[in-house]
Amino acid sequence: MKQAVALSGIVALALVAACSDAPIAVGEPHQITVMTRNVYVGADVDQVMLATSPEELLARVEAAWQELEATDFAERAEELADEILAAEPHLVGLQEITLIRTQSPGDAVLGGTVPAEEVAWDYLAILMAELAERGLDYRVAGMIEDTDVEMPRANPTFDDVRMTDYDVVLARGDVQVSNVESANYVALLPVPTPGGELQVRRGWVALDAEVGDETYRFVNTHLEPADFTDQIQAMQVAELLVILSGETLPVILVGDLNSRADGSGTPTYQTLLDAGFQDAWIVSGGEQTGGLTCCHALDLRNPTANFDERIDYILLRDAQVIEAEAWVVGDDPANRTASGMWPSDHGGVVVRLTVDEQ
């Protein structure tokens, strides 16, 4: 459901101008539309990290592979591209954009270290092809590589499966982009596995985006869930706030923050509000209990949306917003794929802002 509210900024400016002898320059308002979308790798990879023996690891990787085949991203990408077609956002923050590669026969089961390079699914290439097929002009404006892990699966040749995770920003063709930066958080999650310690990395990507006559600092991130420890997430958001502390441009921060808006989970959401960010969903007139974005069943085949938490956000700082409209995508059964899958286990969030230029 779309939520929209008009703000009083333009009225206030008019009153100030009327009461002052000095002229005040007020620019023409413009609109900017942004989206955040966790596209879902397609398997419960957390279960792989819980393996306690080599045999269990093989079995869990095999199960994850079967899930990946069943939740085929090539099919889901069609619906994701349709969402972008409908909203036409200037900027899109994507999380869990995955590159899956294989090696057959694998060598990891014997302790080998030759990296798998045969591409099975390239989520970014698949999605970009779907956008191009719809005549949409989007480009990859920035990206950060996060976790890169390779493990053997329990098939006859013990094939290696390598999964590399990215956060990506797409920019529409009419958006000028500069000053692109990206990095991994220093705070990472170490996970012991039978094959050795796995380091789960998260990151951020930021860029200056010119829309109309205004330039924004657009930031996309995916913070660590609190399934293992909420301390990692707290350290990551602290890093992010330091990175943005000296920013003078209006900031649009998007992403899967893995922090509930109702305060029942980690304090990250409130930490960002306390640091001066506004929740665009609330700015648009949405209620704190609305705008739910998570989660569908892992196999994506639940018949109706059963979201029960809001963890995907578009947050604003120092933006002169006159009006805001926000809505969730990926929660309408009409948007499921031909075989009955939801496009992702998350819903996405779209916000259209009318912003004053000064």
User: Mean of the pLDDT values across residues 165-173?
Assistant: 98
Alpha-helical segments (H) within the chain: 9-18, 45-49, 54-70, 73-87, 123-133, 230-244, 268-274, 280-283
User: Mean of the pLDDT values across residues 330-358?
Assistant: 94
Q: For the chain, how big is the Rg over CA atoms in Å?
A: 21
Q: In whole angstroms, give the CA distance from residue 345 to residue 300.
A: 6
Q: Edge-to-edge strands of the sheet including 312-317?
A: 176-184, 203-211, 214-222, 251-256, 312-317, 278-279
| Among candidate residues 347, 345, 349, 350, the one with its CA nearest the CA of residue 41 | 345
Instruction: Give the right CATH number for 3-18+25-355 from 3.40.50.300, 3.60.10.10, 3.10.20.600, 1.10.287.1080.
Output: 3.60.10.10
Q: In whole angstroms, give the CA distance from residue 300 to residue 337.
A: 10
Q: How far is CA 188 from the centre of its chain?
A: 18
> Global pTM?
0.92
* pLDDT on residue 29: 87
* pLDDT on residue 24: 36
* pLDDT on residue 20: 36
The highest-confidence range among 26-30, 212-216, 229-233, 328-332, by mean pLDDT, is 328-332
The percentage of the chain sitting over the pLDDT mark of 70, rounded to a whole number, equals 92
Give long-range contacts, CB 8 A cutoff, 24+ apart: 9-18. Answer: 9/320, 9/321, 9/322, 9/356, 10/322, 10/356, 13/356
Domain boundaries, the chain: 3-18+25-355
Q: In whole angstroms, give the CA distance from residue 288 to residue 286.
A: 7
